[in-house]
Amino acid sequence: MKLREKEQLMKEIIDEIEDKKQELIETSKYIWNNPEIGYEEFKAKDILISVLEKEGFEIQRDVGNVATAFTAVKKGKGEGPRIAIMSEYDALPEIGHACGHNLFSVASIGAALGIAKVIDKIDGSVVVIGTPAEEGIVPNSGGKAVLIEEGVFENIDAAMICHAEGRTIVERLLVASASIEVIFTGKAAHAGGPPHEWINALTAGLLTINNINAIRQQFLPRVIVNPIITEGGITVNTIPDKCVVKLSIRADRRNVLLNVMDKVENCIKAAAMVTGCNYKIDMEKRIYEDLIPNHELSLAFRNALNVLGVDYIEREEANYAWDAGNVSYVCPTIAPYIKIGSEKLVGHTEDFKKASNSEEGFEGMIIGAKAMALTTFDYLTSPDLRERAKEEFQRKISSNS
């Protein structure tokens, strides 16, 4: 494809998203006003599907045996590569859309609409994948991990998604994370009774935390283990026969995370052995893999931001976790952050919620839509970019194994 033709098609993509701007904003407002937690996002799913369906996308509902997941496909003139634009739309309990999912679920739809305008002139397909339950607050959270296991990402050659932030960041290296719950079971007794008849479950919980604290000096950089006791007794006159400890565990790479989880389990076993308690470990959600942004695709996204005249930060590390990381172990993936307000914005707060339904928030949403659409176009029309992205992906996955 000649440069002049590419430039014309890029203009058509941007113009199409601009033409759909008001509809996209109204869709985002609807989702913001109707917040739904993970695996209950039926209103969000339905309105996003309705926008895509009327533009001729082939819709498949309930993919991966998940009632609030979907795919929407628009095919080009040939077989070609298949690139996924992911859309996540769950909210937080009580506080609602304080993570901006109402914005960037819709940004993904906008990007797909932009590509749909010119898809009949290029080879390949764009696939919107609706991915529920990103927030780790419901059982089996990590909807992208679930859909990967169910085969929804099979035959996807590359993937992308954007997230809200107070700054625009092209490559953000995020950590792997896991959440576990430990239930210690002992033997209750009156606190004034014979001590040899007790088995104090709370002591096992406290020992677990102390054991973890004892090995913190051996943790690698960016390893975080944060335990809390959510249940440790009912009255001071009764020796607790149950103690519940919840732990958030983070590490910069998944192999490091698994190693730390083994060490934490040893701390739990030791506490149980010393006190005589039984214990049970439950995984509250899926393991979120560390996010490995594909640099070649990130360069394409950066070029798109340059075309749009948007300032950005090229690269940084952060200790947040995102199930987009699981996708980055399946295919070349990017997950940039887009500015929606003040640089001081902190996610999961009232200020972030307000920014997610603001003029600056909607501006960021449209920027994200345009940048993802231009990056998708670049990927579908550039065999050289596809090959570089694939080679980088294979190299990084091999080194992280």
pLDDT tens digits, one per residue of 57-75? 999 999 999 999 999 999 9
Instruction: Quote the pLDDT of residue 197.
Output: 83
* 8-state DSSP, 262: H
Domain with CATH 3.30.70.360 in the chain: 176-283
Residue 338 neighbours by CB under 8 Å, 6+ apart: 104, 107, 162, 163, 164, 165, 168, 364, 365, 367, 368, 371
Whole-number Cα distances in Å, 37 to 68, 130, 285: 11, 14, 14
Q: 401 vs 44, 149, 296, CA distance in Å? A: 36, 18, 21
Question: In the 3-class helix/strand/coil scheme, how is 190-215 assigned residue by residue?
Answer: ECCCCHHHCECHHHHHHHHHHHHHHH
Alpha-carbon gap, residue 259 to 266, rounded angstroms: 11
Delimiting residues of CATH 3.40.630.10 domain(s) in the chain: 3-174+291-400
* pLDDT for the residue numbered 336: 98
At residue 64, what are phi and psi to the nearest 5 degrees?
A: 65, 25
State residue 239's pLDDT score. 94
CA distance 159 to 12: 22
CATH number 1.20.1290.10 given to 176-283: no
Which position has the token pair 């996955």?
A: 397
Exposure string for 288-304, b = 16+ CB within 10 A, e = fewer: bbbbbbbbbbbbbbbeb
CATH domain 3-174+291-400 topology: Aminopeptidase (3.40.630)
Spatial CA neighbour of 133 closest among 288, 289, 344, 337: 288
Tell which residue, 377, 390, 393, 401, has the closest CA to residue 7.
377
pLDDT in tens, 244-268: 999 999 999 999 999 999 999 999 9
Distance CA(136)–CA(248), nearest Å, equals 11
CB atoms closer than 10 angstroms to residue 169: 20
In the prediction, which pLDDT does 114 show? Answer: 98
Q: What is the reported pLDDT for 231?
A: 97
Alpha-carbon distance of 258 to 66, in angstroms, equals 27
What distance in Å separates the CA atoms of residue 12 and residue 379, rounded to the nearest whole number? 17
Which residues have C-beta within 8 Å of that of residue 38, sequence separation ≥ 6? 90, 132, 133, 134, 135, 137, 138, 141, 143
Q: Positive or negative, the Cα torsion across 160, 161, 167, 168?
A: positive
The 10 Å Cβ neighbour count of residue 400 is 14
State residue 126 phi and psi, 5-degree precision. Answer: -110, 135
* 312 contacts: CB under 8 Å, gap ≥ 6: 168, 169, 170, 302, 305
| Cα dihedral 218/221/223/226 (nearest 10) | 80
Beta-sheet pairing, 189-190 with 238-239: antiparallel
Residuewise pLDDT in 10s, the chain (401 residues): 788 889 999 999 999 999 999 999 999 999 999 999 999 999 999 999 999 999 999 999 999 999 999 999 999 988 899 999 999 999 999 999 999 999 999 999 999 999 999 999 999 999 999 999 999 999 999 999 999 999 999 999 999 999 999 999 999 999 999 999 999 999 999 888 888 889 999 999 999 999 999 999 999 999 999 999 999 999 999 999 999 999 999 999 999 999 999 999 999 999 999 999 999 999 989 999 999 999 999 999 999 999 999 999 999 999 999 999 999 999 999 999 999 999 999 999 999 999 999 999 999 999 999 999 999 999 999 999 999 999 999 999 988 76
> What does the pLDDT look like over 197-218, one tens digit per residue?
899 999 999 999 999 999 999 9
| The residue to which tokens 């628009």 are assigned | 74
Q: Could you tell me the end-to-end alpha-carbon distance of the chain, in angstroms, rounded to an integer?
A: 38
Distance (Å, rounded) from C-alpha 310 to C-alpha 338? Answer: 10
Distance in angstroms (rounded) separating the CA atoms of residues 270 and 185: 14
